[in-house]
Chains A and B, each alone.
Chain A
Amino acid sequence: ETGVTQTPRHLVMGMTNKKSLKCEQHLGHNAMYWYKQSAKKPLELMFVYNFKEQTENNSVPSRFSPECPNSSHLFLHLHTLQPEDSALYLCASSQDATGTYEQYFGPGTRLTVT
């Protein structure tokens, strides 16, 4: 595997389900990010982890819960979602989050909440 990978690529879940998105980066980076991309809206940063520590929560509702067990893996745990949470969820990584480093994106998970 190379670059940034995400699983699953597509997910359909009901509002009462609990599911998790997984991201893995193979670039030796120390910072990982979750972004949300909704139709007709700019890409929106959700969370930032730098060396496994969360450094940014961009006012994200608590039904989204991130986890970063190490610098290579990032999870987004989902529970009690709403239909308006349907979007493309993108993971990205960079060398670290304290400098002006380029961010590289994974392929994304297309989430549909029914």
Chain B
Amino acid sequence: QKEVEQNSGPLSVPEGAIASLNCTYSDRVSQSFFWYRQYSGKSPELIMSIYSNGDKEDGRFTAQLNKASQYVSLLIRDSQPSDSATYLCADQLAGGTSYGKLTFGQGTILTVHP
């Protein structure tokens, strides 16, 4: 059974700190990874995608992928109260019969307190 595992939290960080969100996956052929942010009562919003080993930066967000360790993380620098949400990690197989299937983790609840 292919799984994506996240610590459900809650993760609480002070405003201005770095929030570190982690995700592990079980399928070695997973090729693509995505981080979504979901505010309470809203739908998931894509914030980062990463396909290659290493770091990818976009504004205050950095995604890190280590395929050898089957590990992907999201760092949020200068955390703001508006970053308080549930962060969903998802992986995706490439090609074949995967047909775009995303497998999601349970999500990590992040709270940024002033």
Instruction: Verify A105–B45 contact, CB threshold 8 A.
Output: yes
Is B34's CB within 8 Å of the partner chain A?
yes
Instruction: Verify B105–A105 contact, CB threshold 8 A.
Output: no
- Known A-B contacts A41-B106, A102-B34, A105-B44; the reply to A96 vs B88 at CB < 8 A is no
Q: Which of B13-58 contact A (CB under 8 A)?
A: 31-32, 34, 36, 42-46, 49, 51
The residue on A at minimum CB distance from B45 is: A105
The residue on A at minimum CB distance from B46 is: A102
Is B79's CB within 8 Å of the partner chain A?
no
Q: Which of A42-50, A66-74, A75-83 contacts B (4 or more CB under 8 A)?
A: A42-50
Give the residue of B36, B51, B92, B99 whose beta carbon is less than 8 angstroms from that of A50.
B99
Instruction: Verify B99–A98 contact, CB threshold 8 A.
Output: yes
Instruction: Verify B102–A103 contact, CB threshold 8 A.
Output: yes
CA distance A31 to B98 in the complex (A): 13
Instruction: Verify B49–A56 contact, CB threshold 8 A.
Output: no
Number of interface residues of B (CB under 8 A): 26
Number of interface residues of A (CB under 8 A): 28
Is B104's CB within 8 Å of the partner chain A?
yes
CA distance A41 to B86 in the complex (A): 13
Instruction: Verify A42–B45 contact, CB threshold 8 A.
Output: no
Q: Which of B61-114 contact A (CB under 8 A)?
A: 88, 90, 92, 94-95, 99-107
CA distance A88 to B45 in the complex (A): 15
B43 contacts across to A, CB distance below 8 A: 88, 90, 105-108
Instruction: Verify B106–A45 contact, CB threshold 8 A.
Output: no
CB distance from B54 to the nearest CB of A (A): 16
The residue on B at minimum CB distance from A50 is: B99
Is A62's CB within 8 Å of the partner chain B?
no
CA distance A78 to B49 in the complex (A): 33
Is A86's CB within 8 Å of the partner chain B?
no
Instruction: Verify B100–A50 contact, CB threshold 8 A.
Output: yes
The residue on B at minimum CB distance from A105 is: B43
CB distance from B26 to the nearest CB of A (A): 13
CA distance A107 to B29 in the complex (A): 31
CA distance A107 to B43 in the complex (A): 5
Query: Binary interface profile of A, 76-114, with partner B (CB < 8 Å = 1, else 0)?
Result: 000000000000101000101111111111111000000
